[in-house]
């Protein structure tokens, strides 16, 4: 059953989700988490990520489970007149449409922005592409391609190694978040003017935005960033260091933190290390001095001492360790979506509350519920 009485900041907002894979579904899951009613419209074959296994849970890819909680699934064939009519009814009820088809791909079905906005001027229409709707319109929108062409792979990995991708489709996630931001802004404007808008987000623009200081190094400083392994181009010390038993990460962001680090590990005074610029210029000597002193204790001992002294430091954990640490810190990282464990939405509110999320839907599992909801008007 599709409830008309959901709670949350976006309660009452209806989203027709025509997207698949990651960037779009991540966006619409965020909206569902905030209380929106999200109708996930899939092909008869379903979202590709349902079959991206291993790993899996009860035959469903955990990739799919990661970004589809709180939605209602209906499978439709856009080429089928009856299915297209049913989709038209869903879109009529929608405040927001989210799609990630190739630019122009929905026009032949009458599902493009121009057609739908003429029918519903208050509609917010969000398009997510790989490389925009101009010169890159025909390029496939895969995160790995965006990592390759944006420069991400040239700054990731060891200095003497080859280009390396990040361990997650990071630009899909960033593009999804940018789409959420644009949708919320358009909804606010609509509330004031009664007019919807079109939001366009692409992976490459999101990638360059997400490269922040590295992209700024090029456009503002004329510097082409290079791979530095785990080191930082502007901060030092800011990388893993070997302790007696294993590595520990030390992340010094200012001179006061370094002074506390030097006191804890017993570094002798050296004016070269007093400023960030000096530490960067002398990082080879400073690294050697730190390694020599850190060898005296195990990583856990150093972590406790540095934490007590207010020096940013951390052990290197696996994903499971990260989830467990978040739980220990009271962050409650895991939330059940139905009976499926998922990672909690990181946004917290002092007053607003949303309903507990429903499980990621089975393919076409809500067809009858969607029809009944449409008939209720």
Express each pLDDT in 38-84 by its tens digit: 999 999 999 999 999 999 999 999 999 999 999 999 999 999 999 99
How many residues appear in the chain? 377
CB atoms inside a 10 Å sphere around CB 17: 31
- 69-79 burial, b for 16+ CB within 10 Å, e for fewer? bbbbbbbbebe
Say whether both 161 and 92 belong to one domain: yes
Single out the residue in 287, 315, 343 at which a domain terminates. 315
Give the pLDDT score at 323: 97
* Candidate list 33, 47, 172, 197, residue with the active-site label: 172
State the Cα–Cα distance between residues 358 and 336, nearest whole angstrom. 8
Whether 361 is covered by a domain: the verdict is yes
Q: Do 46 and 178 have their domain in common? A: yes
pLDDT digits (tens, 9 = 90+) for 303-334: 999 999 999 999 999 999 999 999 999 999 99
Note whether 64 and 158 are same-domain residues. Answer: yes
Let me know if residue 227 belongs to a domain. no
Is 232 a domain residue? Answer: no
Residues 167 and 258 in one domain: no
**Average pLDDT rounded to a whole number, residues 124-145:** 93
Q: How confident is the model at residue 377 (pLDDT cuts 50, 70, 90)?
A: confident
Could you tell me if residue 228 is inside a domain? no
- Per-residue confidence band for 195, with pLDDT thresholds at 50, 70 and 90: very high
Last-in-domain residue among 315, 346, 363: 315
Mean pLDDT in residue range 348-376 = 93
In a shared domain, residues 366 and 278: no
Do 22 and 57 lie in one domain? The reply is yes
State the pLDDT at residue 191. Answer: 87
**Confidence (pLDDT) at 4:** 75
Query: Is 325 part of any domain?
Result: no
Query: Is position 270 within any domain?
Result: yes
Q: Comparing C-alpha atoms, which of 21, 196, 26 is closest to residue 123?
A: 196
Measured between alpha carbons, how far is 271 from 260 in angstroms, rounded to an integer? Answer: 15
pLDDT at 358: 95
The answer to whether residues 153 and 68 belong to one domain is yes
Looking at the 3D structure of the chain, how many domains does it have? 2
Let me know if 95 is exposed, middle or buried by CB neighbors in 10 A (0-12, 13-18, 19+).
buried
pLDDT confidence of residue 354: 86
Is 231:239 a contact under the CB 8 Å cutoff?
A: yes
> How far is it, in rounded angstroms, from Cα 275 to Cα 178?
36
Range of the domain at 278: 238-242+247-315
Confidence class of residue 3 from pLDDT cuts 50, 70 and 90?
confident
* Segment 141-192, tens digit of pLDDT: 999 999 999 999 999 999 999 999 999 999 999 999 999 999 999 999 998 9
Q: What is the CATH number of the domain that holds 301?
A: 3.30.1540.10
> Which pLDDT score is estimated for 6?
84
Mean pLDDT score, 345-352: 93
Burial of 137 (0-12, 13-18, 19+ CB in 10 A): middle
The pLDDT assigned to 28 comes to 98
Same domain, 139 and 282: no
44 and 134 fall within a common domain:
yes
Nearest to 361 by CA among 36, 27, 90, 46: 46
Residue 355 pLDDT level (bands cut at 50, 70, 90): confident
Domain assignment of residue 123, yes or no: yes
- pLDDT single digits (tens) 241-279: 999 999 999 999 999 999 999 999 999 999 999 999 999
- Does 320 reside within a domain? no
Q: Are residues 198 and 289 in the same domain?
A: no
User: At 204, is the pLDDT very low, low, confident or very high (cuts 50, 70, 90)?
Assistant: very high
Q: Is 172 a catalytic residue?
A: yes
Identify the CATH number of the domain in which residue 60 sits.
3.40.50.10540
**E strand intervals along 76-132:** 96-99, 124-129
Say whether both 178 and 289 belong to one domain: no
Mean pLDDT of all residues belonging to the chain: 95
Q: What is the pLDDT of residue 229?
A: 93
- pTM greater than 0.85 (yes/no): yes
Provide, rounded to the nearest whole percent, the portion of the chain with pLDDT above 90.
94
Q: Are 74 and 40 in contact (CB under 8 A)?
A: yes
The whole-number average pLDDT for the span 330-346 is: 96
- 310 and 338 together in one domain: no
């Amino acid at each position: 059953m599709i409830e008309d009485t959901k709670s949350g900041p976006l309660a009452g907002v209806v989203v027709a989700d025509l997207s698949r894979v990651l960037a779009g579904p991540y966006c619409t899951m965020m909206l569902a988490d905030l209380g929106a009613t999200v109708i996930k419209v899939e092909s008869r074959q379903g979202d590709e990520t349902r079959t991206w296994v291993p790993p899996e849970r009860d035959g469903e890819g955990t990739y799919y489970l990661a970004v589809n909680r709180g939605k209602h699934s209906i499978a439709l064939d856009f080429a089928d007149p009856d299915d297209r009519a049913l989709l038209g009814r869903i879109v009529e009820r929608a405040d927001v449409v989210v799609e990630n088809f190739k630019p122009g791909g929905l026009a032949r079905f009458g599902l493009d922005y121009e057609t739908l906005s003429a029918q519903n001027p208050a509609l917010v229409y969000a398009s997510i592409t790989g490389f925009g709707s101009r010169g890159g319109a025909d390029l496939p929108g895969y995160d790995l391609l965006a990592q390759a062409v944006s420069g991400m792979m040239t700054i990731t990995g060891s200095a003497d190694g080859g280009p390396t991708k990040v361990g997650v489709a990071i630009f899909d996630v960033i593009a999804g978040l940018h789409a959420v931001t644009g949708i919320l802004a358009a909804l606010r404007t609509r509330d004031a003017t009664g007019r919807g808008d079109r939001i366009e987000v692409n992976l490459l623009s999101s990638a360059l935005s997400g490269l922040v200081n590295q992209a700024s190094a090029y456009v503002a400083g004329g510097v082409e960033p290079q791979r530095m392994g785990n080191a930082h181009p502007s901060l030092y010390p800011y990388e893993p260091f070997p302790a007696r038993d294993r590595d520990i990460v030390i992340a010094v962001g200012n001179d006061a933190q370094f002074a506390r680090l030097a006191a804890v590990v017993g570094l002798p005074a050296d004016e070269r290390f007093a400023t960030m610029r000096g530490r960067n210029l002398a990082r080879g000597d400073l690294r050697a001095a730190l390694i020599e002193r850190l060898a005296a204790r195990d990583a856990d001992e150093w972590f406790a001492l540095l934490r007590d002294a207010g020096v940013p430091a951390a052990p290197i954990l696996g994903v499971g360790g990260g989830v467990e640490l978040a739980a220990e810190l009271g962050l409650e990282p895991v939330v059940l979506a139905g009976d499926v464990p998922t990672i909690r939405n990181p946004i917290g509110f002092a007053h607003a509350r949303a309903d507990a999320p429903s499980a990621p839907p089975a393919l076409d599992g809500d067809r009858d519920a969607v029809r009944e909801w449409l008939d209720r008007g």
